[in-house]
Structure 1
Amino acid sequence: MRTILGVLAASAALAAPAGSLAQSAPATPVAAERTAQGLVTESRPVAGFDEVELRGIGTLVVAEGDAESLEIEAEPRVLRKISTEVEGGRLVIAPERSFRARQPIEYRLTVDDLSAIELAGAARAEGSGVTADRLSVVAGGASEVFLDGLSAAVLYVAVAGTGTVEVAGEADRQVVETEGTGTYIAGDLASREAAVTAGGASEATVRVSDVLAVEIGGASRVAYLGDPRVSEQDISGVGELVKVG
Structure 2
Amino acid sequence: MKKNIAWLVVALITLSACEVKIDGEKIVGSGKSITEQRPVTAFTELENQSFFDIVITKGDKDEVEITGDDNLVSQIETVVEGQRLVIRNKNKSFSFTWKNTPGTVKIKAAHLDSVDNSGSGDIELRGLENDKFSLKSNSSGDIKAIGQVQSLNAIANGSGDLHLDQLSVAQADINMNSAGDVKMGKLSKLLNLKVNGSGDFLADYLQDASVNLMLQGPGSAKLRGQVTELKVDASGSGDLDVEGLKVAQATLQLYGPGDVNLAGAADNLMITINGSGDVDAKDLHAKTVVLKNNGPANVSLNVDQNLNAEISGSGDLDAKLNAANKIEIVMNGPGASSLSGTADNLTAKINGSGDLHARELLLRLANIKVNGPSEAEVNVKQTNGARVVRIDRNGVVN
TM-score of the aligned structures, taking structure 2 as reference length: 0.50
Aligned CA distance change for structure 1 residues 227 and 59 (closer, same or farther; 3 Å): same
Corresponding position of 1:158: 155
Mapping of 1:139-218 within 5 angstroms? 139-148=137-146, 150-167=147-164, 168-186=166-184, 188-206=185-203, 207-208=205-206, 209-218=208-217
1:41 paired residue among 35, 42, 45:
35
Richer in strand (by share): 2
1:77 is paired with a residue whose SS is helix
Q: Distance in 2 between matches of 1:107 and 1:64?
A: 14
Mapping of 1:51-66 within 5 angstroms? 51-66=45-60
Aligned sequence identity (%):
22
Corresponding position of 2:239: 240
Q: Distance in 2 between matches of 1:189 and 1:55?
A: 30
Q: Distance in 2 between matches of 1:66 and 1:121?
A: 27
2:198 is paired with a residue whose SS is coil
Corresponding position of 2:44: 50
Would you say the 8 A contact 2:75–2:89 is kept in 1? Answer: yes
Aligned CA distance change for structure 1 residues 201 and 143 (closer, same or farther; 3 Å): same
Q: Distance in 2 between matches of 1:121 and 1:91?
A: 14
1:129 is paired with a residue whose SS is strand
- Residue identity in the other structure for 2:74: R
Would you say the 8 A contact 1:64–1:130 is kept in 2? Answer: yes
Corresponding position of 2:299: none
Corresponding position of 1:222: 221
| Cα displacement (A) at 1:232 | 2.6
Superposition RMSD in Å = 1.9
Corresponding position of 1:14: none
Would you say the 8 A contact 2:50–2:76 is kept in 1? Answer: no
Q: Distance in 1 between matches of 2:126 and 2:158?
A: 25
| Cα displacement (A) at 1:44 | 0.5
Deviation digits for residues 56-107 of structure 1 (CA, Å, limit 9, x no counterpart): 3111011101021000012222222211111121100000115658762100
Runs of 5+ unmatched residues, structure 2: 1-29, 245-398
| Cα displacement (A) at 1:228 | 1.6
- Residue identity in the other structure for 1:128: R
Q: Distance in 1 between matches of 2:106 and 2:171?
A: 28
Q: Distance in 2 between matches of 1:137 and 1:71?
A: 22
2:72 is paired with a residue whose SS is helix
Would you say the 8 A contact 2:202–2:221 is kept in 1? Answer: yes
Q: Distance in 2 between matches of 1:90 and 1:138?
A: 14
Give the number of equivalent residue pairs: 208
Would you say the 8 A contact 2:171–2:187 is kept in 1? Answer: no
Corresponding position of 2:102: 104
- Residue identity in the other structure for 1:78: L
1:69 paired residue among 63, 87, 90:
63
Q: Which has the higher contact order (CA 8 A, sep 6+)?
A: 1
2:201 is paired with a residue whose SS is strand
Would you say the 8 A contact 1:219–1:239 is kept in 2? Answer: yes
Q: Distance in 1 between matches of 2:75 and 2:120?
A: 17
Would you say the 8 A contact 2:72–2:102 is kept in 1? Answer: no
Deviation digits for residues 25-54 of structure 1 (CA, Å, limit 9, x no counterpart): xxxxxxxxxxx9511100001121111110
Would you say the 8 A contact 1:174–1:191 is kept in 2? Answer: no
- Residue identity in the other structure for 1:222: A
1:78 is paired with a residue whose SS is helix
